[in-house]
Structure 1
Amino acid sequence: MCTIGNVFIPESNGLISFKQCDLEKKTEFIEPIIEQGLGDIKYLPFKRVGSNGPWAGVNNYGVSFVAADAYLEVTDKHIAVLKGVDQDIFAAYTKIISDCKTAQEAAVYMSKFYKSFKSPDILLINDATSSYFIETNEDVVECIERTDLFFASTNHFRMLYGGVLYPMNHSSYLRLVRAEAALEKNTNAQGPFNVLKDQYFGETVFSICRVNSETPPQESPYYTQATALFFTDGHTVNCAYQLNGNPRTNPYTLITDVFGTHTVSKNISIRESKELLTKV
């Protein structure tokens, strides 16, 4: 379970994309290292132990991706089912940031990829000026482009049929409402940071920032274990993240000019992070 989204920042002529990574079992998240992509592309993938590829990432052209697991309606058992993820999807995620120089190029590639990838998926691809939100299930693929304001998604489909319904998974719907409210209130760098620390429903699975606590019977015990935000104005890429914890109790690491001067600042507060993320 995850919360993903973005916000266009007019005053900085750029975009922030973000992901809150929630897992059921405690997992080790790895410090990101810049890797070489196709030609002159360099990219920063975020990885975790036991996975075949990145759960989020960005490249020096400002192309980033954040993805969320899609939960489906299962009428015979009345439960939510997590999609199966195999090596193919992580190879495709890697290609977004290792081979593509625009969000549009990446969206075209992924839309074709999903035609033969039968598992459900939810994906948000971004660069400085455009964003593509994709949902897929079986051989159905829906893709919309956005060029302003903000967007958020959790674990139920917003465009396709067959997604988990509210009675079967309250969390996905409640987190989406909270994310949209926070982004609508602050359509700047503060918005995403407010989303990621949100605990309107307390330390429960219903909140965006979740801890390992008692879980109601219709939900799975997922809790926040990592967070990543990417900013680009088409020239410079900045990144803020926290790993192996949650953003309310774990300080951020900030990398300014990721693919240039690559200045790393550790133990940065939320206030400092939101002030510095969009500075170029």
Structure 2
Amino acid sequence: MTISAQQQAVEEDLVERVLASFESCENPRLKLVMKSLTVHLHDFIRDVRLTEEEWNYAIDFLTKVGHITDDKRQEFVLLSDTLGASMQTIAVNNEAYEDATEATVFGPFFVDDAPLVQNGDDIAFGAVGQPAWVEGTVKDTEGNPIPNARIEVWECDEDGLYDVQYADERSAGRAHLYSDENGEYHFWGLTPVPYPIPHDGPVGQMLQAVGRSPVRCAHLHFMVTAPEKRTLVTHIFVEGDPQLEIGDSVFGVKDSLIKKFDEQPAGTATPDGRDVGDQTWARTRFDIVLAPENV
């Protein structure tokens, strides 16, 4: 489409007037962000020649995203995730540093004050699924063990649902524990399974409209914190999960985070002597390396 010089001048004049409106902002960071947002937003509108009908649809869409959001469901996070904005923000704020474990999306299902468990305990708390023994170490980038690192873990059950998606206020499939004096940790959880992000709202409608799957690759969430270390928010993914070939709906997969969950035949002795009955179980190892703070 050819835009006349006169029309271009009208559009560019508007951009300049909006930018000028931020000149009196005393916060330099806020000023930078608002001016950059203005430039990119107006560039987008002009690039696609956004129609008034499309603008109204977008406003209605964002209004619906706000209305469905509550204390248990964050549709704006889902929207950010599915547009790759969450992962891009993570990439910008977690620069690669030596062999530090890579970060990935936080997701909408983290809950503060998850139960404290001891090493070797079961975080499932009755959630249904194949038992999985998870073990590893927490170290710094020089290979030194980090004792007493706080490890938050959370996951869905075998039906692909997190505890907060049930109506009975259960707490299951989530906990926090601490690495021991050698930086080691271990716990029982569930073998992760693929599941769809909530897709009964506007974000789901968007994915359907553009022909995308809402399904996430099977994963187990971690958030690891320790003094003077960069907080790590990450997942581990399941090697061999067919969804890895299809793609993750929130772009969270990184090759370094794909781990083998070795399935053990029924009757195989468990590392801690736990009796898992006549069912199979799995085991995996995830060694965590934390980057220094402020790098």
| Shorter-chain TM band | under 0.3
Compare the two structures and name the one with the higher strand fraction: 1
Compare the two structures and name the one with the higher helix fraction: 2
User: TM-score scaled by structure 2?
Assistant: 0.24
User: TM-score scaled by structure 1?
Assistant: 0.25
For the pair shown, which has the larger CA radius of gyration, 1 or 2? 2
